[in-house]
C-alpha cells in the first residue's frame, strides 16, 4: 500500500498485487476449513484469482515468451497427469480436476513470465517468491490428494515467505527505478 502512494504512476499494476493478496487471504479462509471438495474448490478458485493478479503484474514487467511457457508447462503437465492417474479424489470430481488443471496453467504462465525478467534484483526476488508459492502449492496438493503430512511443516513457511518476498521485491523494484 505504501508503494501505491509513493509511486502513483504505477498504481494500477500495484493494485493487482494488492488484489492478489486479498484473494490469497480468502483462499486461505477456505483452505483452513477443508471439510469437503467444495471448500477445496473455493480455495483453489481464490488462489487462482490471486495467481491472475501475480500474472498480470508479471506480464506488465516481463511479458511472456511462449517457448519459455511451453518448456515450463511440460514438467507440470507430467505432474498433473500423474496426479490424475493416482488420486481418486481427482478422478471422482471432474470439476476439481479441471480447477487444478487451470491452476497449473496459470502458475506455469506466471513462472514463465518471471523467468524472462530483466535481471534486476527486484525481479529476481519476485521469481523466487513465485517459485516458493508453486512449491507450497504442490505440497498442498500432495497433502490434500494423498494425505501426505510429512511435508506439512513446509507449506505455510514457504507460503508466507512468498508474500514477504513479493512485498520486498516491490520495494526493491521501485527503489531501483526511482
- pLDDT for residue 23: 95
Tens-level pLDDT at each residue, the chain (178 residues): 554 555 555 567 788 898 999 999 998 888 877 777 788 888 888 999 999 999 999 998 888 999 999 999 999 999 999 988 998 888 888 888 888 899 899 999 999 999 988 888 989 999 999 999 999 989 988 888 888 788 889 999 999 999 999 999 988 987 776 5
Contact 141, 100 (CB under 8 A): yes
Q: Angle 121-146/66-86 helices, nearest 10 degrees? A: 20
Q: How far apart are CA 172 and CA 154, in angstroms?
A: 26
Contact 144, 40 (CB under 8 A): yes
Domain limits, the chain: 2-176
**Residue with grid cell 502512494, as numbered in its chain:** 5
Provide the Cα torsion 21, 23, 24, 27; round to 10°.
170
Amino acid at each position: 500500500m505504501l508503494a501505491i502512494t509513493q509511486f502513483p504512476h504505477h498504481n494500477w499494476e500495484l493494485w493487482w498485487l494488492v488484489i492478489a493478496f486479498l484473494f490469497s487471504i480468502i483462499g486461505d479462509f477456505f483452505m483452513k476449513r477443508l471439510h469437503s471438495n467444495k471448500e477445496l474448490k473455493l480455495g483453489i478458485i481464490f488462489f487462482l484469482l490471486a495467481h491472475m493478479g501475480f500474472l498480470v503484474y508479471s506480464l506488465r514487467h516481463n511479458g511472456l515468451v511462449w517457448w519459455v511457457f511451453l518448456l515450463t508447462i511440460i514438467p507440470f503437465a507430467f505432474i498433473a497427469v500423474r496426479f490424475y492417474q493416482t488420486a481418486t479424489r481427482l478422478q471422482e470430481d471432474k470439476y476439481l480436476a479441471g480447477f487444478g488443471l487451470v491452476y497449473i496453467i496459470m502458475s506455469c504462465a506466471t513462472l514463465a513470465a518471471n523467468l524472462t525478467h530483466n535481471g534486476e534484483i527486484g525481479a529476481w526476488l519476485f521469481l523466487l517468491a513465485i517459485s516458493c508459492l508453486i512449491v507450497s502449492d504442490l505440497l498442498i496438493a500432495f497433502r490434500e490428494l494423498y494425505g501426505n503430512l510429512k511435508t506439512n511443516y513446509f507449506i505455510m513457511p514457504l507460503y508466507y515467505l512468498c508474500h514477504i518476498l513479493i512485498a520486498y521485491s516491490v520495494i526493491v523494484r521501485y527503489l531501483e527505478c526511482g
